[in-house]
Amino acid sequence: MSTICGPAERTVNILLFSPEERIAGSARIRLSGTRARHLRDVFGATPGKQLRAGEIGGDIGEATLESLDSDSVTLHFRAQHAPPAKRPLTVVLALPRPKMLRRMLRTVAETGVRDLHLVNARRVEKSYWQSGLLDTATLEQYLLSGLEQSIDSVLPALQVHRGFRPFAEDHLPALARGRRALLAHPAATRPCPADGDTETLLMIGPEGGFIDYEASLALRAGLLPVSLGSRILRAETALTALLGRFLVAPR
Amino acid sequence: MSTICGPAERTVNILLFSPEERIAGSARIRLSGTRARHLRDVFGATPGKQLRAGEIGGDIGEATLESLDSDSVTLHFRAQHAPPAKRPLTVVLALPRPKMLRRMLRTVAETGVRDLHLVNARRVEKSYWQSGLLDTATLEQYLLSGLEQSIDSVLPALQVHRGFRPFAEDHLPALARGRRALLAHPAATRPCPADGDTETLLMIGPEGGFIDYEASLALRAGLLPVSLGSRILRAETALTALLGRFLVAPR
């Protein structure tokens, strides 16, 4: 089944649809808007065409295009298998600037992170929180573009915390309990571990890092400071490089 | 010393200058163009201001702003220490599409990769080679933006190979000899190792991967196929995630 080439920067290896796009709960789905136009105009799909497809939150399978008109596309979906397993990873991420947020959320979904917490921090600019990008639909679009890349149909569970201290004091200790919990910290001397089958929480600061007070609250919550070397990396690079250490199970 | 905020998407933690910008080989340097305007208009630098600076290919130290006019800025540079050590990494990368190339080269320099080979492959679109982005000055700019992030002054050694087979047959065996040589391959069963002090060659394919013939030439050159898990990652994500496995020396 061919890759569905997406807009610039976006590879779509699976056509994802929501349960509401099923026609009366049947195996037939109707898409409208961008995806319908894209299938018709860019991908050049015609009736009979088969595509890899997946229901958001559900199974992955094959969709056969039945009909298309100027507004919509109707397909028949046949579920074939469960989505790929998530990595046993919980990521706590200081809210990045809007442009990085899009790519970082895509990377989180693409690499199979199971749980994501976006948190405030002192060095997160206040304007990032006022950004129109933070509504749920937009955040989900970013995550979906990651799923479309790595052929997954299940969104990471996302929680947003606008106060650092309430998060660090009221939520983080429970999140850290019973799992390996790591704080990425440039000053740490312990190298970040690298193995993929241990239930892990990974906390990553904003550009410029967490301030000492924030780091101390994280340590008090049970996190262990770990390092990825002494270079100052962009938050985006640090996130992906850290995730790389947890993508593969040891032999 | 403060961060020199760069244009959108670009953090400049060190002001880099080339040997030719020294005035008659002295400790005084004169910058013109974008960097001069940026120092004046965005960073608001005035005489006496001290900045972290580094000579491209040379040492890192401190620059004191002496004077500035509408066209140029004159600074006095005092070398303080050698640049950070490179990682013992040679990356062989199938030429990515232009927009990814910029970010991937930045990441290569940012993470301290020592040697970079850009190579052709069957699934590299021919148009990427015609792109105006491939002149040396542009590629160096991409690499410099990575150095500016992670406070380094030495460019990775870059070689460009426009033919895959001549590269794989005539160069790759010598590059692989005497070091751990790895081919990132989705079908590999051996997990990619993760340690930072072994001399390593890491070869990464284009979007869609190397074709079987190319992979077989790489294996014949002595490379070992390794995996980063079963998900299809964007080339950019794969590069950074793979590099993450080599950024930290084991305890």
Residue B96 lies in a domain: yes
- DSSP state string for A146-211: HHHHHT---PPEEEEES-HHHIIIIIHHHHHTTSEEEEE-TT--SBPP--SSS-EEEEE--TT---
Residues B106 and B156 in one domain: yes
Report the 10 Å Cβ neighbour count for B162. Answer: 12
> Span B112-129, mean pLDDT?
96
DSSP label at residue A22: B
Q: What is the pLDDT of residue B3?
A: 56
Residue pLDDT, tens place only, B165-204: 999 999 999 999 999 999 999 889 999 999 989 999 999 9
Residues B63 and B151 in one domain: no
Residues A99 and A193 in one domain: yes
Residue B236 to chain A, least CA–CA distance (Å): 10
Q: What is the pLDDT of residue A118?
A: 97
Whether A112 and B231 lie within 8 Å, measured CB to CB: yes
Q: How far is CA A144 from the centre of its chain?
A: 7
Answer yes or no: is pLDDT of B7 > 70: no
Is ipTM strictly over 0.85?
yes
A240 interaction partners in chain B (CB closer than 8 Å): 237, 240-241, 244
Residue pLDDT, tens place only, A176-228: 999 999 999 988 999 999 998 999 999 999 998 999 999 999 999 999 999 99
The total number of residues shown for chain A amounts to 251
CATH number at residue B212: 3.40.1280.10
In chain A, the number of structural domains is 2
User: Of A30, A54, A81, which residue is a domain's last?
Assistant: A81
Residues A130 and A169 in one domain: yes
Residues B104 and B111: their CA atoms lie apart, in Å, by 11
Residues A27 and A77 in one domain: yes
Residues A120 and B206: their CA atoms lie apart, in Å, by 36
Q: What is the pLDDT of residue A39?
A: 86
Answer yes or no: is pLDDT of B70 > 90: no
Answer yes or no: is pLDDT of A1 > 50: no
Residue A66, domain extent: 4-81
Residue A10 lies in a domain: yes
Residues 78-97 of A with CB under 8 A from B: 84
- pLDDT band for position B1 (cuts 50, 70, 90): very low
- pLDDT band for position A70 (cuts 50, 70, 90): confident
Residues B76 and B96: their CA atoms lie apart, in Å, by 39
Residues A194 and A108 in one domain: yes
Residue A249 lies in a domain: no
Residue A231 lies in a domain: yes
Residues B168 and B201 in one domain: yes
Residues B54 and B106 in one domain: no
User: Of A64, A81, A98, which residue is a domain's last?
Assistant: A81
Distances (CA, A) of A87 to A22, A223, B12, B229: 29, 19, 34, 10
Name which of B84, B99, B194 is nearest A245 (Cβ-Cβ).
Answer: B194
- pLDDT band for position A250 (cuts 50, 70, 90): low
Please state the φ and ψ torsions of residue B26, each to the nearest 5 degrees. -85, -175
Residue pLDDT, tens place only, B16-62: 999 999 999 999 999 998 888 888 887 788 899 999 999 999 999 99
Whether B250 and A191 lie within 8 Å, measured CB to CB: yes
Residue A127 lies in a domain: yes
Residues A201 and A141 in one domain: yes
Task: Quote helix, strand, coil % in chain B, to nearest 5.
Answer: 35, 30, 35
Q: Which amino acid is at A23?
A: I
B192 interaction partners in chain A (CB closer than 8 Å): 248
- A185, A247, A251, best to mutate vs chain B, most B CBs in 10 Å: A247
Residues B198 and B167 in one domain: yes
Query: What Rg value do the Cα atoms of chain B yield, rounded?
Result: 20
Residues B151 and B221 in one domain: yes
Residue A250 lies in a domain: no
> Span B51-79, mean pLDDT?
95
Whether A194 and B194 lie within 8 Å, measured CB to CB: yes
Task: Quote helix, strand, coil % in chain A, to nearest 5.
Answer: 35, 30, 35
Residue A155 lies in a domain: yes
Inter-residue contact B243 to A242 (CB < 8 Å): no
User: Of A37, A65, A81, which residue is a domain's last?
Assistant: A81
Residues A64 and A74: their CA atoms lie apart, in Å, by 9
CATH number at residue A25: 2.40.240.20
Interface residue A194 vs chain B (CB under 8 A): yes
Residues B226 and B128 in one domain: yes
Name which of A84, A107, A248 is nearest B192 (Cβ-Cβ).
Answer: A248
Residues A97 and A104: their CA atoms lie apart, in Å, by 10
Answer yes or no: is pLDDT of B75 > 70: yes
Mean pLDDT check: name the lowest of A22-36, A145-159, B35-49: B35-49
Residue B167 lies in a domain: yes
